[in-house]
Chain A
Amino acid sequence: MSEASLSATALVARRDLTFAKKGLLWALLSGALWGANGVILGLALNRQPFAGSPLWLLAPLTLAGMHDVISGFWNLLYNWRTGRLREIGRSLFTRPGLMVCLGALFGGPVGMGSYLIGLNLAGPAYVLPITSLYPAVAAALAMIFLKEKIVARAWFGLALCVCGVAVIGWAPPESAPGPMFFLGIGIAALATLGWGAEGVLSTSGMDLLDPAVALNIRQLISGCTYLLVVLPLAGGWSMLGQAVFSEAAPLLCLAAGLGACSYLCWYRGMNMTGVSRAMACNVTYALWGILFSALFTDTEITANLVAGALVILCGMVLVVGNPREMTSLRKTA
């Protein structure tokens, strides 16, 4: 239908729908890029100084810290190119900016640190299914704090996404639970909460901040906290010096670049289409990860992986649902 023949209301509705669909595309792209990022980070972890390191906590935390710092520099470059550099300073000391900073701490050091400690104390068989709950936690928090509208069908879809991620990540327990098992489970739950809270806090900040700027703040705050607080607590910077000049460094730079793009798409997606939908699209990273692993590494495609991927896909379709529901994301006063 031509634009001239449509009523103003229909044109507004069409414009809103296009905006929301664009948000969905950003969120989907974030999943694909995060899948590629995971594969490359996996390759970096298999090289010196990370491969076979006896420092079970320090090695992955160093990698995570370097990832966020380098990713923050990629974001800086983007913001410089697009004329948003000054916005970072302006945004940092506003209340929405502080929400983003808090989200950075929850999603970065708290989320990742807890995940790694949980993995060590309770094992992946239990920790991966628990942490895969983070999109559902984010949706619940978004419904409570952002008044996001989430229908019953979307909850069912989110449950499917969580199951799909759990199926893909699940591995049978290798040994009987140790004495710290329940502590590990509790810490894994903290990681889930941290990742869920990041989405909601950042989205709340992005109500009044540009997503690209919010993300830059997130990466730099998270990266600096890793470097200045988390690494000294976890054993120091010894591995950092080795990693900077190692064969893993170029891979890490590439992964951080993909990570920066993925996060940018994810933040835009959350801002444009809501936390629950963006999360459901973002968890397709597990599906993309399988595809990229099969293409670029010698990972075997098992029935578990295919089943998990299909379940995620069905869940995502249910969460996205009717695009017309996306034009008004929240219950208003």
Chain B
Amino acid sequence: MFGMHPPLRFMVARLLAEGRAGRVDELMRSLEPLYGGEKQFTRRNLEEHLQALKAVGIVEIAETSRDSAGDLAYSYRISETGRKLMARLTRT
């Protein structure tokens, strides 16, 4: 509304629902033009949003892999519940 972007967590769910990103670094790149100048836009905060979305069943982990440093990297996708929710919210 009023030409504003959606809230960050909402936008993360929307990107996943549209299948435009899955990994945290992809999400960071996609969201950078919209939220990049804001102090809240950190990898840690984004991971927390994803974890919260996962806890309530809106997103799920699609796959896990090891990154170059040997740490586990997660790829997320929208769940069926999340898809229905986002479709309902986008319609209204």
Contact = CB atoms under 8 A, between A and B. Distances in A.
Contacts of A328: 55, 57
Contact of B56 (A91, A207, A333): A207
B7 A332 contact: no
A19 B55 contact: yes
A94 B81 CA distance: 19
Contacts of B10: 91, 94, 96, 208-209
Contacts of B8: 87, 210
A91 B11 CA distance: 11
Contacts of B6: 90, 94
Interface string A248-287: 0000000000000000000000011000000000000000
Interface of B: 1-2, 4-10, 13, 38-41, 49, 51-58, 61, 64, 70-72, 74, 79-81, 84-85, 89, 92
B58 to A, nearest CB: 6
Interface string A95-136: 111000000000000000000000000000000000000000
A8 interface: yes
Contact of A87 (B2, B7, B13, B64): B7
Contacts of A20: 55
B79 to A, nearest CB: 6
* 8 nearest A-B pairs in the assembled complex, by CB-CB distance: A83-B39, A8-B64, A83-B40, A93-B1, A208-B10, A332-B57, A91-B7, A333-B81
A269 B45 CA distance: 16
Contact of B55 (A4, A11, A12, A327): A327
Contact of B81 (A8, A97, A272, A332): A332
Interface in A7-38: 8, 11-12, 15-16, 19-20
B52 A271 contact: yes
Contact of B9 (A16, A93, A208, A327): A208
